[in-house]
Structure 1
Amino acid sequence: MGQRSLKTGAKRLAAGLARGARALAGSVGASRIFRPLARRMFLRHTNVVYYHLIGERQPYYAPGRGGECSVDQFARDIAGLKEVFTFTTLERLCEYNQDGFASHRPLMALTFDDGFRLSRPQLMQVLDDNDIKATQFLITSCVGNRNLMWRNKLFAIRAMVPESIYVARYNALAHDAGFAPIAGGADLGPASAAWSMSRKDEWADELWHTCNMPPLADFLNEHQPYFSWDEVEEWLSAGHNVGLHTRTHPYCSQLTNDEIEEEIVRPAAELRARLKFDFFPFSYPFGDRIAAAKERPS
């Protein structure tokens, strides 16, 4: 995946910067007084802003998580950010970061996590209008709508099932599987973060089934949340890029060496071979890194 498995020259800033940069779009970006200060502040940082879902609210994406907005809001964000930043590709941003090149304005790369189809062609129009080339980080097991990422299954359950029912079903699963119960629906996300990463998909599927959710294939066919491979090719043909967001979106710090191979190393090799990339970035799900000693060239 480049010089190191993380393409460490491309380390993305944490969620705080993403939220802060988007807030900047509506505040500092709109203030002529503070723009010069903001430009100086961000000039020597590696500035990456990420989104997840652009468009109408969906049951599989929890409101309030950040990275979700309408196309109109996204367009306003971009306009505000352009008052402070010059948008560039993630590859060029990495080159600047790695080689220490200077720029008179802070550079920023735009990325999207999870491989959602987004709101095409409306989103593409916003990108074209602003001459922005973005990077989409793919969950390889979900491309083509072959699966729904495990946390998105939990979000869909919360959106479609009464709280008293899914909490009871969760606690029954917790009793059988040996993990802690929850007191209410708000605990579902934090509690599931402590699940065994080797069993997360199994438990999410079990909860889906016991909550009497629709057959997963029917849900995916109706909503089609993810890019197909043809749409990935269209995205690339438009001058954008893709990277890896693991195979199933685990908390990577919890992975064993064998699981790192399964979640990162092999999917990276397969994706890179399929798309024939030289520059190939990687984004950690949840911003949760494996130990530095396990990050290695590949």
Structure 2
Amino acid sequence: MCKIIYYHGLYSSFPELSFSDPAFTRQDFARQVELLSRRYELITLNEALERSNEKNGLKQTLCVTTDDGLADNLVFAEILDRCNGKLTLFLNNNFIDNQDMMWRNKIRYVEHHTDSYRQNRLIGQLAETYQLWVPKSSLSLLNWSRTWPMALKDHLADRLWEEAGLGTVREFLERRKLYLNWTEIKELTRQGHAIGGHTRSHPDCSLLSWEELKAETVDAVGELRQRSGEPVHFLAYPFGIRPRSAWDRRLRAENSGLKRTMGIAPSLQSPTLEEREDMEKSFWKSMVYLYLMPVKRALF
């Protein structure tokens, strides 16, 4: 039975964008991979899919995956290569070549550079302009953003960024080069790593209409396949949140190359290759999740 784990990136390089404190480090990942490679064969999801019908084909296998296509995934690939492992990268079309930034990272950056008073003022300004829900008590920008219509998420995040006096997101990305470009992606696949879809712009897919969901998933996966020249058999839903089950089945039916859609479940074993668990943790905390949490879940 295959185990599937996921990461995002080394936000220790960009602490103002990180959702964890302290930020996950290169040393954490290297120590995890070194230990995991002693117990498991570290394969791509594409290889796992090929071997899934073989008796014991997935015994002692583990898939390492990353979300969002951050540029420091090159470091992940380098570390895995040293341990004869391979990576599966889940990519968002809109972020490749640093065209845009994930909307919640924009908000996290604004939070890092503004105090609570300024944040409450920003909430009031945008709520009035766009007729959005206004919290009755103090609320962080990140938590307030959970109430946004998905169709407005990127525009609202850009407005927060600009109203906070931070310039523009494009200027930031031109300086920082946060995401992979197509040249780097193609070189990674040439080396044997694999890619999957992570939607076009990282929405909560449970809040989309069918037309919006199709554009974010089926159409986006098709574009990735065409541009990369690689098979794209897997789609990982942002935040691990699936749409309604009928639509989940429908989008797979409308894209014959899409074999699995993936959520996030608190289990390190995925017999159907459809669930993953977060391992973006300090080394010692990750070891607790790897060895002790499965025992706890089995007992309780």
Shorter-chain TM band: 0.7 to 0.9
Letter of the aligned partner of 2:42 in structure 1?
F
Letter of the aligned partner of 1:107 in structure 2?
T
Letter of the aligned partner of 1:76 in structure 2?
R
Determine the structure 1 residue equivalent to 2:56: 102
Determine the structure 2 residue equivalent to 1:62: 18
Letter of the aligned partner of 2:163 in structure 1?
T
Distance 1:93 1:188 in 2: 40
Pairs within 5 Å for 1:173-212 = 173-182=126-135, 183-184=137-138, 187-212=140-165
Conservation of the 8 A alpha-carbon contact between 1:55 and 1:119: no
Deviation at 1:48, TM superposition (A): 0.8
Determine the structure 2 residue equivalent to 1:140: 93
Conservation of the 8 A alpha-carbon contact between 1:115 and 1:226: yes
- CA pair 169-249 structure 1, distance change in 2 beyond 3 A: same
1:114 to 47, 65, 68: 68
Pairs within 5 Å for 1:162-173 = 162-173=115-126
Distance 1:59 1:206 in 2: 22
Q: Percent identity over the alignment?
A: 28
1:268 to 204, 207, 221: 221
**What is the TM-score when the length of structure 2 is the normalising length?**
0.76
User: In the TM superposition, what whole-angstrom CA distance separates every residue of 1:97-129 from its partner, at most 9, and x where no partner exists?
Assistant: 4x2631584311001100000164x43431111
Conservation of the 8 A alpha-carbon contact between 2:71 and 2:179: yes
Letter of the aligned partner of 1:52 in structure 2?
H
- CA pair 248-132 structure 1, distance change in 2 beyond 3 A: same
Distance 2:69 2:238 in 1: 12
Determine the structure 2 residue equivalent to 1:27: none
User: In the TM superposition, what whole-angstrom CA distance separates every residue of 1:60-114 from its partner, at most 9, and x where no partner exists?
Assistant: 5224179x522111111112223443312211223344x2631584311001100
**What is the TM-score when the length of structure 1 is the normalising length?**
0.77
Deviation at 1:184, TM superposition (A): 4.2
Determine the structure 2 residue equivalent to 1:30: none
Q: Which runs of 5+ in 1 are unaligned?
A: 1-43
Letter of the aligned partner of 2:125 in structure 1?
A
Determine the structure 2 residue equivalent to 1:13: none
- CA pair 77-243 structure 1, distance change in 2 beyond 3 A: same
- CA pair 179-75 structure 1, distance change in 2 beyond 3 A: same
Distance 1:55 1:203 in 2: 23
Q: Secondary structure in 1 aligned to 2:151?
A: coil
Letter of the aligned partner of 1:271 in structure 2?
L
- CA pair 287-168 structure 1, distance change in 2 beyond 3 A: same
Report whether the alignment pairs 1:87 with 2:42: yes
Distance 1:177 1:85 in 2: 51
Comparing 203-212 and 49-58, the one that deviates more: 49-58
Pairs within 5 Å for 1:1-298 = 44=1, 46-54=2-10, 56-59=12-15, 61-64=17-20, 69-97=24-52, 99=53, 101-103=55-57, 105-118=59-72, 120=74, 122-182=75-135, 183-184=137-138, 187-295=140-248, 296=250, 297=253, 298=255
| Cα-Cα RMSD | 2.2
Distance 2:73 2:245 in 1: 36
Q: Secondary structure in 1 aligned to 2:234?
A: coil
Deviation at 1:277, TM superposition (A): 2.6
Q: Secondary structure in 2 aligned to 1:111?
A: strand
- CA pair 104-48 structure 1, distance change in 2 beyond 3 A: closer
Deviation at 1:264, TM superposition (A): 1.1
Conservation of the 8 A alpha-carbon contact between 1:84 and 1:105: no
Conservation of the 8 A alpha-carbon contact between 2:46 and 2:194: no
Distance 2:202 2:58 in 1: 37
Conservation of the 8 A alpha-carbon contact between 1:252 and 1:290: yes
Conservation of the 8 A alpha-carbon contact between 1:144 and 1:227: yes
- CA pair 60-141 structure 1, distance change in 2 beyond 3 A: farther
